[in-house]
Chain A
Amino acid sequence: MSAPHIDTPTIPSAAPGIPLAKDALLALVRERIEVEPDPSDRWDLTVVVASGRLRDLMRFLRDDPRLRMDVLLDIAGVDYLAFPGHRDARFAVVYLLKSLAFNHRIKVKVRVEEEALEIPSIHDCWKIADWMERECWDQLGIVFKGHPNLKRLLNHHQFVGHPLRKDYPCQKRQKLTVNDPMVDQLQLRLRQLGYTVLSEGEIHAPAVRGGTPGEVVGTGDKGMQDPDLTTGTQVGDMKRSVL
């Protein structure tokens, strides 16, 4: 099914504060970008878009004066592996958007095949997309192409696998033995701000005992300072994927 061709826009532009109805929203989006409404959303509007058009669609939704979906509320990944009767791609990423001016909402869904776990990043469209994409990658393993710092957000850096996948066992625990020194993160941030890092110095952790880069630093527990420690330590034990 292709988008209906609209010669003259039939949708009256909404006055500020008046949300557009579901059908009007869909028609407006279809003027510019080919999308399909998702029948599984029986309550509000979800549009399914090809991953190649995602960035165009998101920019259009954000900037069009009749839509002005200026807030990216959340990015939710879904694994349909165990969904009864599901035939489409295994994964989907759902972007939740809302307009502050008109109070209407839209969900944008991108289907992601298991064989090609990659969709374009929108970190440059909204500042918050950076962390939300990191969480989605952490939890489901979907790669956001072009993301500057695709690191885990909720799980620790030694974590293997992606817990919200349906084939990840619920009871599986993973221990953290060495904390993330985060020196690379800080250097990345400094470079983003226009600084050039000449040399690494000592790292101070006022809340805990100090350490040096390469060793474990600033974890809040002296047990973590021991580089020979190989057994699971208690710090970071709270930071596990699944209870």
Chain B
Amino acid sequence: MKVLTPKGEQLELLTVNMGPSHPATHGTLRVFCALDGETIVASMCEMGYLHRGFEKMVEQGTYTMVLPYTDRLNYCSAMMNNIGFCKAVEKMFAVTVPERCVVLRVILCELSRIIDHLVCVGANLVDLGALTNFWYFFNPREAVYKIWEKLCGARLTNTVTRIGGFYRDTYPGFEDDVRAVLVQIEGAIKDVRGLIEHNKIFLDRTRDVCVVSKEDAISWGWTGPCLRASGVDHDIRKQEPYYGYDTYAWDTVIGTKGDTYDRIMIRIFEMLESISITRQALDRLKPGPINTNDARLTLPDRNRVYHDMEALINSFKLIYEGVRPPPGECYDATEAANGELGFFIVSDGGTNPYRIKARPPCLTQFAAFGPMTEGTMIADAFGTLGSINIIAGELDR
């Protein structure tokens, strides 16, 4: 493509199409860019290759049927999506879940955050040519998946929560397994930090690469680790605390420059904070009910169903019709691994959701990807793509 630069020089640009099935895109994303040598001059992104119509599908079933679909949004930390959706519906009912359920949700959320960051950082380092870290991080990730398997039978798509509580309580020995895996994760983080922190190749390829200023990050609607990397002190767990996150001792990790280095390092240090929160939550985990006793949400006890007419009707109604939130429009958000995961729910008082709009955190980050990589080398652009952690399942819905 022949162009005139803003300075009036004639330039021959090479147009290159990356993706949708390019290994460096970690999914199906398309980046169409114009190159001057190896430098990106202009770049446009196309998404939607994994679009399955999440928002249309969820209108066809009951609220409980939405849960398996939410697993498939950010499939690297499926439980956080389950919990985010349940919390939004629980807000509509104005029910509070029991203490054990809250603490268990905190533990599962933080473990999910850790495995999400493990995948993000591990794969990002592979993009930069550092393969060993990937194995160091995927071993503890596998150990967490073993816990998920014992907990609910599924590894990737867990559907472990229910509106008003959980599918079932934990298994005996859950606490010990979690404590053991936390030690393993700490070891892996130590190993990886040892490999990258003083590594000249890593530092050269990440420092001052694709810097996003505070103002730009806010204007792009960034949330989560990427926003914090740009130096904005904002975490929903701190600023609008839910599930008692304000009662745990932990710190928000904030970057200084907003470059790829910050975005990677923030995730590494956030894992350490999550480990600390998980340990404190394990200390608080006391036996007790895991489901709310609100009859609109929770199935009655089996013994009562067989001997009590009202309980039988209640059970049938909940199975056949599901929960019925009061009519209205409600938005609720949680701090997922990638940023603010929100659900805007419109209820007409019926059994099926009238409209659900998911707010995927990585859409805002991918929208910025084209402009933020303009002016950088093409190889660094893909290092950056890993650092903003695009999960196609949640991006394309």
**Which residues of A does B touch, CB under 8 Å?**
38, 40-44, 46, 70-74, 76, 78-79, 82-84, 94, 96, 100, 103, 105, 107, 126-128, 130-132, 139, 152-156, 163-164, 168, 170, 180, 182-183, 185-186, 188-190, 193-208, 217-220, 236, 238-243
Residue of B nearest to A138 (CB): B48
**Residue numbers in B under 8 Å from A70 (CB-CB):** 218
Q: Is A193 in contact with B42, judged by CB distance below 8 angstroms?
A: yes
Q: Chain B residue with minimal CB distance to A75?
A: B357
B38 within 8 A of A: no
Per-residue contact bits, chain B 351-390, to A (CB 8 Å; 1 contact, 0 not): 0001101010001100110110010000000000000000
Tell me if B286 counts as interface (CB < 8 A to partner A): no
A131-B363, A201-B2 given; A42·B328 CB < 8 A: yes
- Binding site secondary structure of chain B: mixed
Contact of B53 among A71, A193, A241 (CB under 8 A): A241
Nearest CB on A from B240, distance (A): 6
Task: Given A41-B330, A43-B91, A238-B50, check contact A195 B220 (CB 8 Å).
Answer: no
Residues of B within 8 A of A128 (CB): 219-221, 364, 367-368
Bound complex: CA of A127 vs CA of B371, how far in Å? 10
Q: How far is the CA of A58 from the CA of B20 in the complex (A)?
A: 36
- Interface SS majority for chain A: loop
B340 touches A73 (CB 8 A): yes
Considering the chains assembled together, what is the distance between the CA atoms of A83 and B347 in angstroms? Answer: 9
Cβ contacts A to B, 6 pairs, < 8 Å: A132-B221, A195-B3, A195-B42, A207-B18, A238-B50, A240-B53
Contacts of B53 in A (CB 8 A): 163, 240-243
Partner of B1, one of A78, A130, A164, A199: A199
CB B358 to nearest CB in A, in angstroms, measures: 9
Query: Whole-angstrom distance from the CB of A152 to the nearest CB of chain B?
Result: 8
Where the two chains meet, the residues of B that have a C-beta atom closer than 8 Å to any C-beta of A are 1-6, 10, 12-22, 28, 30, 32-34, 41-44, 46-53, 55-57, 59-60, 91-92, 216, 218-221, 223, 232, 234, 239-240, 326-331, 333, 340, 342, 344, 346, 348-350, 354-355, 357, 359, 363-364, 367-368, 370-371, 374, 396-397
Residues of A within 8 A of B19 (CB): 207, 220
Q: Nearest-CB distance from A73 to chain B (Å)?
A: 6
Known contacts A44-B331, A100-B234, A207-B21; A243 and B52 CB within 8 A of each other: yes
A195 and B48 contacting across the interface, CB-CB below 8 Å: no
Q: Is the CB of B359 within 8 A of A74?
A: yes
Which of B3, B41, B330, B333 neighbours the largest number of chain A CB atoms within 10 Å of its CB? B3
Chain A residues with CB under 8 Å of B349's CB are 84
Alpha-carbon distance A190/B4, docked complex (angstroms): 10
A201 to B35, CA, bound (A): 12
Contact across chains for B55 and A43 when beta carbons are under 8 A apart: no
- Of chain A, the residue at the smallest CB distance from B11 is A195
Question: With A41-B330, A126-B219, A206-B16 known to touch, is A241 a contact of B3 (CB < 8 Å)?
Answer: no
Cβ A238 vs Cβ B28 within 8 A: yes
* Interface contact A164-B328, CB-CB below 8 Å: no
Cβ of B221 and Cβ of A241 under 8 Å apart? no
> How many angstroms from the CA of A41 to the CA of B33 in the assembled complex?
43
What's the minimum C-beta distance from B49 to chain A, rounded to whole angstroms?
5
Additional pairs, 20, CB under 8 Å, beyond known A40-B329, A96-B344, A218-B30 = A43-B328, A73-B359, A74-B344, A96-B359, A107-B329, A127-B216, A131-B367, A132-B221, A182-B17, A182-B30, A190-B3, A190-B41, A193-B42, A197-B1, A198-B2, A198-B3, A203-B16, A207-B19, A217-B17, A218-B17
